[in-house]
Amino acid sequence: MASTSPGYGITIRVEGPPSSQPVALATAVITGAGATITALDVVESLLEKVVIDITCDTIDAAHADEITKAISQKPELTVRKVSDRTFLLHLGGKIEIQSKVPLKTRDDLSRAYTPGVARICQAIADDPADARRLTIKRNTVAVVTDGSAVLGLGNIGPAAALPVMEGKAALFKRFADVDAWPVCIDSQDVDEIVRTVQLIAPVYGGINLEDISAPRCFEIERRLRDLLDIPVFHDDQHGTAIVVSAALRNSLKLVKKNLADVKIVMSGAGAAGTAIARLLVKSGAKNIIGFDKDGVINKQTKSDDVMRTWFIEHSNPHNFAGNISEAMKGADIFIGVSAPNVISESDVASMAKDSIVFALANPDPEIDPFIARKYAAVVATGRSDQPNQINNVLAFPGIFRGLLDANASKITDELLVAAAEAIADCVSPEQLNASFIVPSVFDPQVVTAVAAAVKKSV
């Protein structure tokens, strides 16, 4: 059952004669069509007309159009204007630069700019380590993409990826007070991307790679980590893996099972899937059966890619060769980072008692969570309108806060495991239940706990 979302919120300006009771009529049409009204304002109230603004959440863009059309079909009502609230929020972009120092007098200019700034430049030339102490480098992250794997939209290019990177930068600032900036590169050549990031790296204290398609993302991250003296973190891999690991850790507490003993079926073996598998294996998982668009991954699967080779070597210990429905029989855990509707109701019904389903494809998961909850003890999705949202915002702000504060240069698997444990521990035993396996992204203790765990692991 689809739910309405603020992401598809609209404001409709409607006009009608007072005799037709336009407020009651319009609200009845909107709620009858399945939208959720969140605000109503009377803009004008005259003898001959009443003008109202009705704000409502809809299911998707097509549903928003249906709502508007349904109102227009009422002869008593006139739709004067429809505003998409998400588009309005993005007008002019979501982030800006502000000066941290006053620039009101000639003295201010003399210190912040010429001639005083020349002394700072010379100090850094004499000791490059001073760049971190005397510039924005100590608290600044580049959010880098080539636009090749943006959300569920695919390869839409760097300009179309910019709104996502802006949003990421806004999240960095909101949750960890990290100054991040979008860097959208107009190339999908690995060598060009690596060289571009290397050239701009002196400005930044860390690099957050984002929405770069596999397998190129693996090589880009590996090469940059070798080249740079600042941490490089591909969030689609490691952020997702950290939050999945944290959520699974708490879910297993609820169902009283051990990670080393469970059978895990995974749909999706790209960047996120491979990183999840790596972190789970590092944490003790021994039986992961992975599937991609070509079917099961087993010892007969061929690949020249380093990460795919790792997946082949560390999964499917009994060399299972069937389809995903057959693999689901008796499975304890399903993790989906792939595509909508890849498993069925009967697949979930065939899982082991007290099963766990993480259907994380977004916005449409691998199985409808309402169906999955009929059989599974714990269900998680990637959606904000469902309980147990697996959201990378729980991970990356605190991770970079800790890395920057520690002046770290590298990221290790041990650090990622420590971050996952810190997130899981933010849910107290009294809070833990089937609908609350990870903390809220607005829980202020999360960033602090993750940052502390990262600093301790560096």
Residue 312 lies in a domain: yes
Say if residue 384 is in the same domain as residue 257: yes
Residue 292 pLDDT greater than 60, yes or no? yes
Q: Which of 253, 236, 177 is nearest to 427 (CA)?
A: 253
By percentage, how much of the chain surpasses pLDDT 90? 88
Neighbouring residues of 227: CB distance < 8 A, sequence distance ≥ 6: 194, 198
Last residue of one domain, picked from the residues 230, 255, 271: 230
Q: What is the mean pLDDT of residues 41-48?
A: 92
Q: Is-catalytic flag, 113?
A: yes
Say if residue 85 is in the same domain as residue 115: no
Identify the active-site residue in 49, 69, 81, 113: 113
By percentage, how much of the chain surpasses pLDDT 70? 100
Residue 427 lies in a domain: yes
User: pLDDT digits over 20-38, tens only?
Assistant: 999 999 999 999 999 999 9
Say if residue 122 is in the same domain as residue 145: no
pTM score: 0.88
Rounded Cα distance, 87 and 7, in Å? 10
Domain with 70 in it: 5-90
User: pLDDT digits over 314-334, tens only?
Assistant: 999 999 999 999 999 999 999
Residue 3 pLDDT greater than 90, yes or no? no
Residue 98 lies in a domain: no
Residue 149 maps to which CATH number? 3.40.50.10380
Please state the domain count of the chain: 4
Say if residue 208 is in the same domain as residue 176: yes
Say if residue 409 is in the same domain as residue 456: yes
Q: For 38, phi and psi rounded to 5 degrees? A: -115, -15
pLDDT value of position 373 = 95
Say if residue 247 is in the same domain as residue 357: yes
Say if residue 173 is in the same domain as residue 34: no
Q: What is the mean pLDDT of residues 162-184?
A: 96
Tokens 């009967």 — which residue? 346
Say if residue 77 is in the same domain as residue 51: yes
pLDDT value of position 271 = 85
- Confidence class of residue 301 from pLDDT cuts 50, 70 and 90? confident
pLDDT value of position 4 = 86
User: pLDDT digits over 58-100, tens only?
Assistant: 999 999 999 999 999 999 999 999 999 999 999 999 999 999 9
pLDDT value of position 66 = 95
pLDDT value of position 151 = 83
- State the CB neighbour count (10 A cutoff) for residue 303: 13
Q: What is the mean pLDDT of residues 392-414?
A: 95
User: pLDDT digits over 135-163, tens only?
Assistant: 999 999 999 999 999 987 889 999 999 99
Say if residue 241 is in the same domain as residue 331: yes
Identify the active-site residue in 168, 257, 263, 455: 168
Residue 97 lies in a domain: no
pLDDT value of position 386 = 85
Say if residue 52 is in the same domain as residue 115: no
Tokens describing residue 350 = 């065939």
Q: Is the Cβ–Cβ distance between 217 and 194 less than 8 Å? A: no
Residue 380 maps to which CATH number? 3.40.50.720
Q: What is the DSSP letter of 135?
A: S
pLDDT value of position 61 = 93
Say if residue 145 is in the same domain as residue 287: no
Left (φ > 0), alpha (ψ -120 to 50) or beta: where does 259 sit?
Answer: alpha
Last residue of one domain, picked from the residues 210, 230, 250: 230
- Confidence class of residue 57 from pLDDT cuts 50, 70 and 90? very high
Residue 112 pLDDT greater than 90, yes or no? yes
Say if residue 170 is in the same domain as residue 212: yes
pLDDT value of position 246 = 97
Residue 458 pLDDT greater than 90, yes or no? no
Average pLDDT, the chain: 94
pLDDT value of position 263 = 97
Last residue of one domain, picked from the residues 186, 201, 230: 230
Q: Is-catalytic flag, 8?
A: no
Residue 282 pLDDT greater than 60, yes or no? yes
Q: What is the mean pLDDT of residues 217-238?
A: 95
Q: Is the peptide bond before 363 cis (omega within 30 degrees of 0)?
A: yes
Residue 363 pLDDT greater than 90, yes or no? no
